[in-house]
Amino acid sequence: MIALTLTEVASAIGGELHLRGADTPDTVVRGTVDTDSRNIGPGDVFVAKPGETTDGHLFVSVAADAGAAAAVVERVVTEASVSQIVVPDVVTALADLARAVVARVRAHGDLRIVGITGSNGKTTTKNMLARILSDEGETVAPRASFNNEVGAPLTMLRVDDHTRFLVSEFGASGPGAIAHLAGLVEPDISVVLMVGMAHAGGFGGIEATRAAKSELIEATRRGGTAVLNADDPRVAGMASIAAERGMSVRWFGRGASADVRADDVEVTADGTRCTAVVDGVPHALHLRVLGEHHVMNALAALATATVLGVAPDAAIGRLEELQLAERWRMEPLGSERVRIINDAYNASPDSMSAALRTLAQITGPDERTVAVLGAMSELGEWDGEEHDRVGLLAVRLGIQRIVVVGAAARRMFLEAISQGSWDGEAVFFPDADEAYDYLTGELRDGDRVLVKSSNAAGLRFLGDRLGEFFS
């Protein structure tokens, strides 16, 4: 965070300052801001956020002992020897502080801000873009999937006077969430990847999801740039919102009309090769990140980077250095003997389909495809039919072993075994431990194994265990 006095911090968040020790209103703080006391070090600011299982106020003294310069609280913790700023709501205060800090940096620097949203691919695209931009200047981007009401402001608060690029990832817990988060910084460039069924249950359908994602365009600075998926009609329709705001549009996609597109895509076990055509000029691109679906994420990153003045050849060279999109996202584990692909951090109908297709594409004729599948979350009334579709797709792709884990995913198993013409095998296990016992005895040399589920299903840990067992 930039250097601010305690008075300036209190003013930015509308809080009441309670001083401790030798501190004065003019004491300067410039450390990291965090809601986890375990991450606090000397000079940092601790935000005592109440949670579902515990309360950050219980750890204010721990943060003080670790050297915190200040704590943002909803009530004074009298026993803690650290200056405290009392606010009605610490999450609101966190957003207010992020808004104030970014505005100050922007006012006297050349900070450029990119906002990214979409039903799938946000984190991968963010990582790709951050890798490209990091060689151009100091770049701040979210750790993991810091894209909610807490994670997004914490990322914003990492900017300082030397930051040239801020890449923000925006998730949506419901209508208005993206408008709120993006409104804190008003991005110069907004990137919308796709509108799919992820979280459709929470929004009330795919059209409501489209409206939520379009909030990012509406929150972008007038005269900025919208980077839009030309292949997704719901995203392409957001060009009219951009036009109303005097924004230019940069298109990415697989079709010939896109400003940045991919031709001759070839998927293999060591990544994906294609020709990236940027404004009519072809460039060879070899992505080491597994999965054809990541080509679209790379195109979005390329389109955005070129808006920011990065030469296409330089951007492509940096993309080719990435070997992993993110932990638990198409992460290769195991060995050449038994290859485990752990993609169980998140799952939606679209990402399930993409992962299964990748498994089929990268498996050779003398190898066996095995899909270990768990539930997809937040699908609401579409939950049953979407799980049915995944089971059917796995069969139609010729996946040779389907292992379904957890009661919430059982319909995948039932749909798979209902396909009488299929000559493979589907099995069901109520929990990951039983699935692990089965798989460690069932898997054999030449197997290519996809582990895929939503985060809540917890199969990412099963994937890790299998990766270690077969390493």
- The answer to whether residue 253 is domain-embedded is yes
CB 62 within 8 A of CB 75: no
Q: Is residue 55 part of a domain?
A: yes
> Structurally, how many domains does the chain consist of?
3
121 is in an annotated binding site: yes
* 93 inside domain: no
- How far CA 408 is from CA of 235, 337, 387, 404, in Å, comes to 31, 31, 9, 10
Contacts of 47 (CB under 8 A, 6+ apart): 33, 34, 35, 56, 71, 72, 90, 93, 94
The H or E element containing residue 165 is strand 165-169
| Region class of 26: left (phi > 0), else alpha (psi between -120 and 50), else beta | alpha
| Residue 119 labelled as part of a binding site | yes
**Per the annotation, does 78 bind a ligand?**
no
* 115 and 258 belong to one structural domain: yes
Integer-rounded Cα Rg, in Å, for the chain is: 24
Residue 317 annotated as part of some ligand binding site: no
118 appears as a binding residue in the annotation? yes
Is 124 assigned a ligand-binding role in the annotation? yes
290/220 same-domain check: yes
Say how far apart CA 112 and CA 98 lie, in whole Å: 15
**Does residue 374 sit in the same domain as residue 446?**
yes
Other C-beta atoms closer than 10 Å to the C-beta of 125 total 28
In a domain, 34, yes or no: yes
How many degrees, rounded to 5, is the angle at CA 156 between CA 151 and CA 157?
A: 100
What pLDDT tens digit does each residue of the chain (471 aa) get?
Answer: 999 999 999 999 999 999 999 999 999 999 999 999 999 999 999 999 998 888 999 999 999 999 999 999 999 999 999 999 999 999 999 999 999 999 999 998 899 999 999 988 999 999 999 999 999 999 999 987 788 999 999 999 999 999 999 999 998 777 899 999 999 999 999 999 999 866 565 566 888 889 999 999 999 999 999 999 999 999 999 999 999 999 999 999 999 999 999 999 999 888 999 999 999 999 999 999 988 889 999 999 999 999 999 999 999 999 999 988 777 888 999 999 999 999 998 888 989 999 999 999 999 999 999 999 999 988 888 899 999 999 999 999 999 999 999 999 999 999 999 986 566 789 999 999 999 999 999 999 999 999 999 988 989 999 999 999 999
Q: Is residue 27 assigned to a domain?
A: yes
* Residue 11 among known ligand-binding residues: no
Supply the CATH number for residue 17's domain: 3.40.1390.10
- Are 168 and 185 in contact by the 8 Å Cβ rule? The answer is yes
**CB-hemisphere CA count at 13 Å for 159?**
30
- 206 and 269 inside one domain: yes
- Structural domain includes residue 351: yes
Q: How far apart are CA 77 and CA 84, in angstroms?
A: 8
**Domain presence at residue 458:** yes
What's the burial of 324, exposed, middle or buried (CB within 10 Å: 0-12/13-18/19+)?
A: middle
Residues 198 and 178 in one domain: yes
Pairing label, strands 338-343, 331-334:
antiparallel
CATH number at residue 400: 3.90.190.20
Give yes or no: residues 311 and 427 share one domain.
no
Same domain, 81 and 26: yes
Q: Which domain holds residue 291?
A: 109-319
Which tokens sit at 325?
Answer: 């999109």
Residues 299 and 169 placed together within one structural domain of the fold: yes
Could you tell me the CATH number of the domain that includes residue 164? 3.40.1190.10
Closest to 60 in 3D by CA, of 76, 52, 373: 76
Does 423 share its domain with 281? no
Tokens, residue 235: 């995203």
Decide if 97 is inside a domain.
no
Q: Which of 287, 319, 351 is the last residue of a domain?
A: 319
**Are 350 and 312 in a shared domain?**
no
For the record, the structure tokens of 339 come out as 């290859």
Binning the chain into helix, strand and coil, the percentages to the nearest 5 are 40, 25, 40
Q: Strand, coil or helix: what is 7?
A: helix
* Same domain membership, residue 286 and residue 141: yes
**pTM: predicted TM-score of the whole model, two decimal places:** 0.89
Same domain as 245, residue 132: yes
